[in-house]
């Protein structure tokens, strides 16, 4: 894969370097904060080879790449002329409160996930070694490895202080210092003495709550958020010549006491309250949370809310030593998504979809689900339903068995050691059973539901299976096939279409028509494989294996369905000549949009020849494109 080319195409289609405020990446996505979120051409970006999809969440423009995202990120770093250091600046666009909260949670926790995952896996492997007697818990080797794996969890407030400082725009080193204050050995000793003797701790005559901040989550986030108001205010009043020491001095003098006396104890109370609430819910309905999380994780990932779950899980680990919120539900959901797309891969006759299903399926089993989610489950919908069924059933079982996770690691097969507790392997055994339930349920449900993929209908009867199982190519493959025109109008060569994605054939070969009336008819017999709420594009699977896309106008997705009247819906069987859609040409033109309608063969690589008609005008039902698979 040419990562530099992908990066260059992305840069071109997001509005250039001048539109980038900041960019980073997570496990599967490029995450860009842009000055103008209207500039990116999503259709063109989606058409880039190597891009799975795009999402716009919480004011952040996200490009889903998959496991190769880090290479594209490095390539983009090499060509983007930006300092990439303005991540703390908020978008000037208005965001909802929910979006701001989700964006903040993601910005704080995503950077520390790799360190948490590595340390968590080391801790889990150390637990396995101790259970099997491969290492003595009394030996120094074990003790050293134990604190090596535990360091990130104890010093978690300092790591969160840094990532929170980036998000809230405070000085990162001063923020880390604040985190260090909460964990300082002298303060820790004072807390132990206060608890042993029953005496209090005072600062300026005010009581300091003897709270333990090691491994805590909420207190430091609240403290750095408070600091984000104090530091700039102090900076304004301190003379410029003394700011290098004056601003941090006064900021520390204000923030540290407030942190120890008010915010720290408040954050501890909130964290403990959250943990107690979860413990109470587990006591009365232990099955509920894992079932809900197992069912709805794919939808939470789509809107970025899974980071809120992760933060709750981390807080539970810190408070009680195990997590029943995020870990169990998310792992069965990921395995279920893998089962659903692998079922698609097994049954589909489309080679591209089969390859995508296999690669994204195994990726999902290892805990990386976004390629499966955005590549198959979401576009085809039924696999999404199957994965939600499997995830819900698996989560229900884990909840009934009160399964918990003991370390923060990615929720996939490689993270299974994190479900081994000190009591033995019973928790792990139940986890494995839950994963089997989720995988099998999703797999079987998907085989039952089937999907209309691009080129074939997966669910078919036995006779059709037998008819297509011959090793010899069918005679129809060798005969030219005709795609009739779905619309009246002027024929426009594809390379003259005013949209590079179409003009360059990125979405497939074909031709375009500038319509003289807005009625769109079925050009072939087949199944409506894609028809979105925006109504601007229709995908049809032909009975002969051709995949057609009728894109009604350019950039008409922006109309959100206005100006279109639909007579079909996704999944409908259609016959050549059936009325599919009407578009209001005058209305679309009044909005300044081009009504030129590309008609494309999106699986062009499966055909040897694709020959558009050579004439200036065409009418509905007349020959428009000739295609052939024959030699």
Strand, coil or helix: what is 611?
strand
**Would you call 552 a catalytic residue per the annotation?**
no
Burial of 423 (0-12, 13-18, 19+ CB in 10 A): exposed
And the tokens for 179?
């985190």
Residues 6+ apart with CB under 8 A from 419: 327, 403, 404, 405, 406, 427, 428, 431
- Is there a contact between 623 and 482 (Cβ–Cβ < 8 Å)? yes
Q: How far is Cα 264 from Cα 208, in angstroms, rounded to an integer?
A: 9
31, containing H or E segment: strand 29-34
CB-CB neighbours of 495 under 10 Å: 10
Tokens standing for residue 433? 């059973």
Rounded Cα distance, 335 and 343, in Å:
12
H or E segment to which residue 587 belongs: helix 585-590
Residues with Cβ within 8 Å of residue 472, at least 6 apart in sequence: none
Could you identify the residue written with the tokens 């005709």?
A: 482
DSSP 310-349: HHHHHHHHHHHS-BSSSHHHHHHHHHHHHHHHHHHHHH--
Extended strands (E) in 485-601: 489-492, 509-515, 519-521, 526-531, 537-542, 547-551, 564-566, 573-574, 579-583, 597-601
The 8 Å CB, 24+ separation contacts for 36-44 are: 37/61, 37/91, 37/93, 39/14, 39/15, 40/13, 40/14, 40/15, 41/13, 41/501, 43/499, 43/501, 43/555, 43/557, 44/9, 44/13, 44/499, 44/500, 44/501, 44/506
Contact, 437 vs 361, CB < 8 A? Answer: no
Instruction: Tell me the C-alpha distance between 161 and 255, whole Å.
Output: 13
What gap in Å lies between CA 261 and CA 570, rounded to an integer? 60
Contact 434/395 with Cβ under 8 angstroms? yes
The burial class, CB within 10 Å (0-12 / 13-18 / 19+), for 197 is exposed
In sequence order, what are the residues at sequence separation of 6 or more whose Cβ sits closer than 8 angstroms to the Cβ of residue 498?
A: 554, 594, 596
**Which of 26, 301, 332, 336 is labelled catalytic?**
26
Q: What's the CA gap between 332 and 396, in Å, rounded?
A: 10
- The span from the CA of 47 to the CA of 374, in Å, is 14
Burial of 514 (0-12, 13-18, 19+ CB in 10 A): middle
* CB-based burial label for 82 (10 Å; 0-12, 13-18, 19+): middle
Active site residues: 26
């Amino acid at each position: 894969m040419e990562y530099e080319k992908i990066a260059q195409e992305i840069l071109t289609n997001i509005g250039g370097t001048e539109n980038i405020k900041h960019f980073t990446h997570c496990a599967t996505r490029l995450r860009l904060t842009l000055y103008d979120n209207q500039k990116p051409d999503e259709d063109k970006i989606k058409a880039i080879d190597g891009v799975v999809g795009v999402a716009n969440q919480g004011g952040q423009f996200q490009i889903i790449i998959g496991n190769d995202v880090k290479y594209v990120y490095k390539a983009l770093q090499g060509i983007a002329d930006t300092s990439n250091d303005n991540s703390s600046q908020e978008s000037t666009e208005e965001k909802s409160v929910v979006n701001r909260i989700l964006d903040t949670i993601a910005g704080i926790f995503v950077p520390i996930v790799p360190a948490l995952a590595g340390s968590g896996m080391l801790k889990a492997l150390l637990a396995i070694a101790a259970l099997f007697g491969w290492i003595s818990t009394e030996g120094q080797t074990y003790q050293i490895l134990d604190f090596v794996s535990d360091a990130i969890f104890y010093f978690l407030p300092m790591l969160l202080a840094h990532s929170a400082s980036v998000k809230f725009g405070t000085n990162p080193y001063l923020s880390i210092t604040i985190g260090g204050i909460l964990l300082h050995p002298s303060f820790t000793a004072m807390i132990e003495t206060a608890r042993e003797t029953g005496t209090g701790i005072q600062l300026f005559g005010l009581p300091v709550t003897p709270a333990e901040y090691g491994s805590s989550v909420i207190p430091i986030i609240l403290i750095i958020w408070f600091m984000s108001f104090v530091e700039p205010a102090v900076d304004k009043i301190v003379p410029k010549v003394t700011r290098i020491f004056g601003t941090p001095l006064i900021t520390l003098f204000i923030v540290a006491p407030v942190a120890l006396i008010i915010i720290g104890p408040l954050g501890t109370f909130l964290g403990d309250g959250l943990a107690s609430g979860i413990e109470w819910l587990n006591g009365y309905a232990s099955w509920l949370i894992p079932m809900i999380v197992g069912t709805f994780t794919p939808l939470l990932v789509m809107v970025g809310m899974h980071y809120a779950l992760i933060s709750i899980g981390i807080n539970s680990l810190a408070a009680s030593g195990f997590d029943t919120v995020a870990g169990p539900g998310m792992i069965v959901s990921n395995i279920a998504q893998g089962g659903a797309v692998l079922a698609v891969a097994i049954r589909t006759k489309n080679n591209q979809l089969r390859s995508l299903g296999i690669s994204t399926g195994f990726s999902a089993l290892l805990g990386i689900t976004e390629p499966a989610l955005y590549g198959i489950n979401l576009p085809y919908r039924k696999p999404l339903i199957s994965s939600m069924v499997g995830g819900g059933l698996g989560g229900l079982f884990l909840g009934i068995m009160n399964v918990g996770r003991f370390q923060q690691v990615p929720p996939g097969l490689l993270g299974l050691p994190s479900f081994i507790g000190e009591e033995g392997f019973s928790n792990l055994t139940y986890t494995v059973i839950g994963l089997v339930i989720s995988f099998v349920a999703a797999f079987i449900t998907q085989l039952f539901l089937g999907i209309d993929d691009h080129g074939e209908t997966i669910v078919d009867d036995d006779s059709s299976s037998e008819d297509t199982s011959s090793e010899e190519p069918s005679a129809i493959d060798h005969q030219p096939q005709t795609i009739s025109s779905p619309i009246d109008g002027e024929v426009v060569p594809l390379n003259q279409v005013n949209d590079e994605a179409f003009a360059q054939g990125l979405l497939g070969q074909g031709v375009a028509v500038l319509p003289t009336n807005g009625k769109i008819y079925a050009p072939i017999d087949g199944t409506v494989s894609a028809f979105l709420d925006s109504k601007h594009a229709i995908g049809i699977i032909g009975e002969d294996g051709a995949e057609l896309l009728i894109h009604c106008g350019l950039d008409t997705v922006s109309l959100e369905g206005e100006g279109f009247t639909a007579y079909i819906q996704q999944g409908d069987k259609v016959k050549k000549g059936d009325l599919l859609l009407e578009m209001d040409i005058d209305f679309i033109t009044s909005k300044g949009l081009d009504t030129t309608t590309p008609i494309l063969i999106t699986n062009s690589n499966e055909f040897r020849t694709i020959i558009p008609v050579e004439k200036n005008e065409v009418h509905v039902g007349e020959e428009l494109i000739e295609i052939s698979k024959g030699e």
